[in-house]
Amino acid sequence: MGLPEQKNIGLVLSGGGIRGMAHIGVLKAMQERGIEAHEVAGSSVGALVGALYANGNSTEEMLQFFKDTPLFQYNFFAIGKPGLLNTAKFGSAFGALLSSDSFEALSKPLHVVATDLMSGKEKVFNKGALILPLLASAALSPVFSPVEVNGVLYADGGIMNNFPKEYLQSNCDFFIGSNVSINSELGKKDLNNSFQLMGRITGLMIYASCREKIASCDILIAPQELEKIGILDKKGIDKAFTIGYDKASFTFDKMMG
């Protein structure tokens, strides 16, 4: 059984930090099999990868970009604003990879979710300027500072909606989901301190709010092995990519075989 023909394929990419490199592996597996999404929705790192995909960048370019972009470079630290790192400093690096600072310039419709910190609501961006909404969607609190767009402060889209499938519902009739916010079973040794506990609770809350949408995808790639990779551990980039590629390749080949 292959993928259905004459379907509008929607691609949903979740948040999840460095684990989001698995999304790039999924894209590589799709491209090798001639599978192309018609429309994309993403949150946090999923929004960044989705924008590069909609822009036509190769998977090699995407991977190299995340390897080359500094996370904790001294001149990126936030001064006089909340957060450890000044998110706006990453704008020029990302802009260098995009053909234009515009949703309309992309080859595919893209929906980017961010969290409005002032109203406490989610916001979807899909037209106009592109780079600031992307940075806002990926501004993981409390590490990255909020991003101001049109006078409003925004933070990580995963806070409110880590798997924004609903924004594709009106135009797509077949859904491929890549979820890298994994919550597999843990042992007592994995919950030894406050940071581990906080991360586990946050992860469970995010997953609980999205699990029905995740389960409703026609094809879902959600490798459990990703949980061993820290969300800000740049040493895990290649491993996350490989995990995503292997899982997606197996899943697509099983469906198409």
State yes or no: pLDDT of 244 exceeds 90: yes
State yes or no: pLDDT of 191 exceeds 70: no
At 150, is the pLDDT very low, low, confident or very high (cuts 50, 70, 90)? very high
pLDDT at 153: 92
- The whole-number average pLDDT for the span 44-55 is 96
* Alpha-carbon separation of residue 66 from 87, 188, 197, 249 (angstroms): 15, 33, 28, 22
The tens digit of pLDDT for each residue in 79-128 reads: 445 544 445 556 677 778 888 999 999 999 999 999 999 999 999 999 99
At 251, is the pLDDT very low, low, confident or very high (cuts 50, 70, 90)? very high
pLDDT at 252: 95
In the chain, pLDDT over 90 holds for what percent of residues? 59
Q: Considering the candidates 14, 43, 137, 156, report the single residue annotated as catalytic.
A: 156
At 199, is the pLDDT very low, low, confident or very high (cuts 50, 70, 90)? low
In sequence order, the 6+-apart residues with CB closer than 8 A to the CB of 159 are 115, 141
State yes or no: pLDDT of 1 exceeds 50: no
**Least confident residue range of 45-54, 66-75, 181-190, 206-215:** 66-75
Q: Considering the candidates 44, 137, 181, 249, report the single residue annotated as catalytic.
A: 44
**Least confident residue range of 22-36, 82-96, 167-181, 220-234:** 82-96
At 247, is the pLDDT very low, low, confident or very high (cuts 50, 70, 90)? very high
Instruction: Assess whether 249 carries a catalytic annotation.
Output: no
pLDDT at 84: 42
pLDDT at 196: 59
pLDDT at 245: 98
Going along the chain from its start, the domains and CATH numbers come out as 9-256 (3.40.1090.10)
At 74, is the pLDDT very low, low, confident or very high (cuts 50, 70, 90)? very low
The Cα 254–Cα 239 span in angstroms is 23
The tens digit of pLDDT for each residue in 19-47 reads: 999 999 999 999 999 999 999 999 999 99
Instruction: Assess whether 102 carries a catalytic annotation.
Output: no
pLDDT at 89: 58
* Alpha-carbon separation of residue 191 from 141, 187, 188, 232, 233 (angstroms): 21, 7, 5, 19, 19
